Amino acid sequence: MSLDHRLDPELEELRRTVEEFAHDVVAPKIGDYYERHEFPYDIIREMGRMGLFGLPFPEEYGGMGGDYLALGLALEELARVDSSVAITLEAAVSLGAMPIHLFGTEEQKRTWLPKLCSGEMLGAFGLTEPGAGSDAGGTRTTARLDPDTDEWVINGSKCFITNSGTDITGLVTVTAVTGTRDNGRPEISAIIVPSGTPGFTVAAPYSKVGWNASDTRELSFDEVRVPSANLLGERGRGYAQFLRILDEGRIAIAALGTGLAQGCVDESVKYAKERHAFGRPIGVNQAIQFKLADMELKAHTSRLAWRDAASRLVHGEPFKKEAALAKLYSSTIAVDNAREATQIHGGYGFMNEYPVARMWRDSKILEIGEGTSEVQRMLIARELGLPVA
């Protein structure tokens, strides 16, 4: 494969378009939404009109005919300004629509994908439970098939589910135990649950440290009934399907983390030029210059890592290790850069009116969501051929 990560004209035009949108539309508004813990519906509608929610999907389903590289470029540019908006797009595409695209029947695709691609509707994926996060195999939510009605009957709960309770959320795909395998392990399947289904309850939004303009909820299922045709993919393959979704999603999160890290550089360079101390800009001080040089180095390296993983995915090459490497590195340096940006800004970095305060609050979750840093290290070690305990 080529090691040339320069963008072709079409992708560069996309990147530039999203960059302008982030600075001209998102930046002036998002701080107020963030402080109010309010979902930015007007921004999301504009992103839908731009086609961002359909970037990696075929045109026949209302998509833009792009790929994960295109999605990553959009996520990086959005996250340079704000992560709440970026994670809304990431979750809607990677977790909401992508499972239906990859594993759905033709009828499921034609039913759901057009609205998901347009941003008219958001989808979510319910995997995490109070007792099953990194250990997704510990799922306790159950689904039994009622032979009399040919319906799945779902009981259980999910937590930390992004995009699950907005006014435009249309579905949540839920992993549930649907039986027991011959080896005694649970059989886990994925089932589409439309919003508003009786017995499906969406809790109030969480009070979060960061990502305050995004939607995150706890879900509960009490004798929730959906048609058997709502099974997504093959019965018993739900866990394997989600592992595939996570592998791809890590590239998207790596792009988002890269954007946050680069945004910290952007804001800190600007501040270092404007802020004067002892009669001169603080940017002339070598201590500040060295911090910024290291921050730029980390963001640049992170960008190469996620683009390499995305390129491997696009070209049909193995990418599991590269996705884990990119996700681990980008999340680590996002936290590093956010901390250093706050330090450069001094007391102002602790004030919410400055973007770096938002970036500092938003960065830590990147080391946890879509596979913790510890899980990434386990995956990398396995890909290196080390023995599994």
C-alpha to C-alpha distance for 92 and 173, rounded to whole angstroms? 12
- CA separation for the pair 46, 326 (Å, rounded): 29
Integer Cα distance of 19 and 60 in angstroms: 27
Task: Check if the beta carbon of residue 142 is closer than 8 Å to that of residue 205.
Answer: no
Report yes or no on 389 lying in a domain: no
Q: How many CB atoms lie within 10 A of CB 372?
A: 16
Residue where one domain finishes, among candidates 71, 101, 122? 122
- Per-residue pLDDT of 164-181, as tens digits, reads 999 999 999 999 999 998
- Which letter does DSSP use for residue 7 in this model? P
Quickly list DSSP for 178-230: EEE-TTSPEEEEEEEEETT-TTEEEPPPP--SS-TTS-EEEEEEEEEEEEGGG
In a domain, 174, yes or no: yes
In a domain, 2, yes or no: no
Percent of the chain past pLDDT 70, that is, above it, reads: 98
User: Span 250-277, mean pLDDT?
Assistant: 97
pLDDT digits 0-9 by tens, 324-337? 999 999 999 999 99
- Contact between 104 and 48 (Cβ < 8 Å): no
Residue 245 sits in the same domain as residue 231: no
DSSP bridge pairs for 162: 216
Claim to verify: residue 114 and residue 29 sit in the same structural domain: yes
Does the active-site annotation cover 317?
A: no
Per-residue model confidence as pLDDT tens digits over 186-211: 999 999 999 999 999 999 999 999 99
Q: Are residues 129 and 181 in the same domain?
A: yes
Query: What pTM was computed for the model?
Result: 0.95
- Residues 10 and 158: their CA atoms lie apart, in Å, by 40
Which pLDDT tens digit goes with each residue over 332-387?
999 999 999 999 999 999 999 899 999 999 999 999 998 999 999 999 999 999 99
**Residue 358 maps to a domain:** yes
Residue 1 is assigned to a structural domain of this protein: no
What is the mean predicted confidence (pLDDT) over 250-272?
A: 98
- Among 235, 270, 290, identify where a domain stops: 235
**How confident is the model at residue 1, as a pLDDT?**
45
Q: Residues 129-149: pLDDT tens digits? A: 988 766 766 889 999 999 999
Q: Do 280 and 270 fall within a single domain?
A: yes
231: domain CATH number is 2.40.110.10
Catalytic residue among 151, 267, 340, 370: 370
- State mean pLDDT over 280-294: 97
Do 188 and 206 share a domain, yes or no?
A: yes
Q: What is the mean pLDDT of the chain?
A: 95
Domain count, the chain: 3
Is residue 49 one of the residues assigned to a domain? yes
Task: Determine, yes or no, domain membership for 4.
Answer: no
Q: What angle do CA 383, 386, 389 make, to 5 degrees?
A: 110
Of the residues 235, 252, 276, the one at which a domain ends: 235
288/304 same-domain check: yes
Clarify whether residues 163 and 199 are in a common domain: yes
Q: What residues form DSSP beta bridges with 219?
A: 158, 202
Closest CA to 211 of 366, 331, 327, 52: 366
Task: Supply the range of the domain harboring residue 69.
Answer: 9-122
pLDDT computed for residue 171 by the predictor:
98
pLDDT at residue 183 greater than cutoff 90 = no
